[in-house]
Amino acid sequence: MIAPDTIIPLACNFALVVLGVSLLLTVYRVVRGPTLPDRVLALDMLVGIAIGLIAVISIRTGYTLYVDIAISLGLVGFLATVAFARFILARGIRGERPAEDGPVLLLEIGGDAKAARKGAGPADAANDPSGKGMK
């Protein structure tokens, strides 16, 4: 059987290597992400990787204050992700409209479903499944 004194440093080294590789791949996704939501998810993943790195360093050094820092970083990362999601949602409402052949984006605003498709007019109101028409 392997002694705990040898397995913990080996596991920490292995975890640091895995977290380092995932950090590099995630930074690549942040830089090369094709869309803004991809970049936001990659930034959220970076926070998770940083929490993992802090936890491994805490185990390796035996200094438990690092765990409190990791918890605080998790809270800040969650709030940043929510803020980015709200930004993307607001940008989707006020931003570019999808192409004519693109999918129809339905938004619930004030109880009525409004189509955000380019050129949606009275003809589309007759096909509205809610039966309320477009306003």
pLDDT at 118: 47
Least confident piece of the model among 30-34, 39-43, 104-108? 104-108
Q: Give percent of the chain with pLDDT exceeding 70.
A: 68
Tokens 């998790």 belong to residue: 74
Q: What is the pTM of this model?
A: 0.66
pLDDT tens track for 109-126: 555 445 444 455 555 555
Q: Which residues contact 27 (CB under 8 A, 6 or more apart)?
A: 42, 46
Q: HEC string of the chain?
A: CCCHHHHHHHHHHHHHHHHHHHHHHHHHHHHHCCCHHHHHHHHHHHHHHHHHHHHHHHHHHCCCHHHHHHHHHHHHHHHHHHHHHHHHHHHHHHCCCCCCCCCCCEEEECCEEEECCCCCCHHHHHCCCCCCCCC
Is the CB of residue 30 less than 8 Å from the CB of residue 40? no
Q: pLDDT-derived band of residue 95, with 50, 70 and 90 as boundaries? A: low
| 39-71 pLDDT, tens digit each | 999 999 999 999 999 999 999 999 999 999 999
Residues 6+ apart with CB under 8 A from 32: none
Instruction: Report which residue type is found at 86.
Output: R
Four-residue CA torsion sign, 6, 9, 10, 11? positive
**In the chain, where the domains are located:** 4-94, 97-130
CATH number belonging to the domain at 4-94, selected among 1.20.120, 1.20.140, 1.10.10, 1.10.287: 1.10.287
